[in-house]
Structure 1
Amino acid sequence: MGCYDCCMRCLGGVPYCSLVATLLLFSGIALFCGCGHQALTETERLIETYFARNLQDYITLAYIIQYFQYVIYGLASFFFLYCIMLLAEGFYTTSATRHTFGEFRSTACGRCLSSSFIVVTYILAVLWLLVFAFAALPVYFFYNMDATCRTVDDLTETPASINQLCVDARQYGLLPWNAVPGKACGMTLSTICKTREYRMTYDLYVAAFAGAGVTLLALVHSCLQLAAGQVHLKERRQRAFKEHRKVWEQGGGTLCSPYPAYPVPHYYLTTPPPKLSLALLNPCHPPS
């Protein structure tokens, strides 16, 4: 029975909401960063192989891809540390821990820390909404390319119309307008869509987009969970104060502060006050 009570106490001290939010956030960031990094590498390879024959045509795109990969490294490191802090804050503010260390008491530092986490998480959620929208752009590009490839496969009996179906990377800003060839048409486009590199890049961008969505969901969940914890703590403090006041009123007593009701003279700081003066200064604790 003692082992069962110990296990129940340990399980009761786990902040399940914070744990779920942390796992969602870590999974979303890992999916977004890992798949996004590899998708950018495969995109550069596709552009180099099928859409640009000169290095100067896609060198700007190569630099942009490299910068985005560095940003992904920074995002992975930052959110890894933030996941740890979020989980630690959840263990610190869990109900069982507050009950163990002080009957749902809170310090000004603890309230400030929780409020700071709410503000930071809210700002991250707003910023990540832009990242989520940006992650949809390559998915949109590859979806259009895949739809064009299916149309080419359906019109194989009329070669004249097939050559008019093209995907121009220059229209999406991936390449400058003087890039050669800059586009893929007809059966060449259909061949590209059947390659392993294209299918893998498409799937990686879809996975990165899904990871961005999971990350956004985790940030919103964390923000709501932290705000709900603050409201719950405030309600418990108010309820405890009302119960304490009700007990004093039923017992015929009065609520009084444990601190002196009058200023303590300066010489009392070095000389113990007489018992009579102590009773006047603190009526809640009369001298024995």
Structure 2
Amino acid sequence: MKPAMETAAEENAEQSQEKKGCFECCIKCLGGVPYASLVATILCFSGVALFCGCGHVALTGTVSILEQHFSTTASDHALLSEVIQLMQYVIYGIASFFFLYGIILLAEGFYTTSAVKELHGEFKTTACGRCISGMFVFLTYVLGVAWLGVFGFSAVPVFMFYNIWSTCEVIKSFQTNMTVPGDQICVDIRQYGIIPWNAVPGKACGPILENICNTNEFYMSYHLFIVACAGAGATVIALLIYMMATTYNYAVLKFKSREDCCTKF
């Protein structure tokens, strides 16, 4: 029989070996996490959620403001109401698509990271894997350009609401200083092209405009459009990170495929 001290030493050696193997396994798993894709996915989900959620509510508030204060005839803003309703359905589609696309890109990041670092023996570069990575690179570039347009488009209502709000501040300033009558300061919504020129009344002046700025609908819609614009900007940044990550992974996979091909001969 072995002495007790030798048995204890062997047990300690086995435990230390198990701990070392477990530690190496954890390090190996952490090395396979695509941190860039993970950050981009979180940022993309947050940006799309802000854009879609806030944009949907802000569009509803905008229609209500127009109907109550700038276009009292239903036929004048019937086309605008249909367009906004269509945009709200588009928002639903965007939210669903990017929820699925973010998950797919994260899975693709895990795949390419594992293939690049050769964390699994048979899970290396393949023609199919390189084709999938190349497809995601192209698709992400296209979506990035599209979201730049969405970001620019989402800034338009922010600009419009800011002009109305700043005009209300000018009216308050003139009323305080008593230099110019507030009734002479107006905002004409028809100049933005969202309602026709024959819409009645089409514009608001003086105290009426100031009352519009003090309503909860105007306040909420203005700030929701700002948040939606910020969400679109966050999505653009997320897609830029995706672009860099997918392009880098594809380039490394391409390089390793050539390296493996050359080492066979």
- Same fold, TM exceeding 0.5? yes
Matched AA of 2:29: C
Q: 1:220: how far off?
A: 1.4
2 CA distance for matches of 1:104 and 1:237?
13
| Matching of residue 93 in structure 1 with residue 112 in structure 2 | yes
Relative to the length of structure 2, the TM-score reads 0.85
1 CA distance for matches of 2:130 and 2:46?
28
Residue pairs, 1:38-77, within 5 angstroms: 38-77=57-96
2 CA distance for matches of 1:118 and 1:143?
37
Q: Contact 2:126/2:257 (CA < 8 Å) preserved in 1?
A: no
| Matching of residue 182 in structure 1 with residue 202 in structure 2 | yes
Relative to the length of structure 1, the TM-score reads 0.79
| Matching of residue 138 in structure 1 with residue 157 in structure 2 | yes
Where do 5+ consecutive residues of structure 1 fail to align? Answer: 245-255, 258-288
| Matching of residue 209 in structure 1 with residue 229 in structure 2 | yes
Deviation sequence 1:202-253 (CA, Å, 0-9, x none): 00000110111111111111011111112233445566778x6xxxxxxxxx
Matched AA of 1:85: I
CA 191–159 in structure 1, closer or farther in 2 if over 3 Å, else same? farther
Higher relative CO (Cα under 8 Å, sequence separation at least 6) belongs to 2
Any idea what SS the aligned residue of 1:101 has? coil
Higher deviation after alignment, 153-162 or 77-86? 153-162
Matched AA of 1:111: R
Residue pairs, 1:207-286, within 5 angstroms: 207-236=227-256, 257=265
Q: Contact 1:31/1:211 (CA < 8 Å) preserved in 2?
A: yes
1 CA distance for matches of 2:116 and 2:26?
15
- Identical amino acids, percent of aligned pairs: 52
Aligned counterpart, 1:124: 143
Deviation sequence 1:132-180 (CA, Å, 0-9, x none): 1111100110111111011000011538531111111111112111111
Higher helix share: 2
Any idea what SS the aligned residue of 1:155 has? helix
Matched AA of 1:209: C
Number of equivalent positions: 245
Where do 5+ consecutive residues of structure 2 fail to align? Answer: 1-18
2 CA distance for matches of 1:84 and 1:210?
22
Q: 1:71: how far off?
A: 0.8
